[in-house]
Structure 1
Amino acid sequence: MIRIATLDDIPVIQEIAYNTWPTTYGGIISEEQIRYMLDLMYSTESLVQQMSKGHTFFLMESDDTINRDHSIHTNAIAEQKVLGFASVSDEGNSIFKLNKLYVLPAAHKTGTGKALLNTVKTYAVQNGGKELILQVNKQNPAIAFYKSQGLSIKSENIFELDHGFIMDDYTMGISLS
Structure 2
Amino acid sequence: MLTYKKASLNDIPIIMDLAERSWKVTYKDIISAEQIEYMFNNSYSYDPLKNQMAEQGHTFLIAYEEENPVGFASFSLIGKTTFKLHKLYVVPETQGKGIGRYLVEAVIREVKRLGASILELNVNRYNAKAKAFYDRIGFEVYKEVDIPLGDFFLNDYILRKKL
Bigger-Rg structure (1/2): 1
Q: Equivalent residue for 1:4?
A: 6
Could you say what the CA RMSD is over the residues aligned between the two structures, in angstroms? 0.8
Q: Equivalent residue for 1:91?
A: 78
Greater strand proportion: 1
Structure 2: tracts of 5 or more residues without a match: none
Q: Secondary structure at the match of 2:57?
A: coil
Structure 1 residue 42, shift from structure 2 partner: 1.0
CA deviations over 1:65-120 (Å, ceiling 9, x no partner): xxxxxxxxxxxxxxx21000000101122000000000000110101000000011
Q: Equivalent residue for 2:100?
A: 113
* Counterpart residue identity of residue 139, structure 1: Y
1:97-136 counterparts in 2 under 5 A?
Answer: 97-136=84-123
* Counterpart residue identity of residue 156, structure 1: E
TM-score by length of 1: 0.88
Structure 1 residue 22, shift from structure 2 partner: 2.2
Q: Equivalent residue for 2:61?
A: 58
Structure 1 residue 12, shift from structure 2 partner: 1.2
1:40-79 counterparts in 2 under 5 A?
Answer: 40-52=42-54, 53-63=56-66
Task: Please give the alpha-carbon distance, in whole angstroms, between the structure 1 residues aligned to 2:63 and 2:29.
Answer: 26
Moved >6 Å (runs of 4+): none
Task: Please give the alpha-carbon distance, in whole angstroms, between the structure 2 residues aligned to 1:119 and 1:145.
Answer: 16
Structure 1 residue 19, shift from structure 2 partner: 1.4
TM-score by length of 2: 0.95
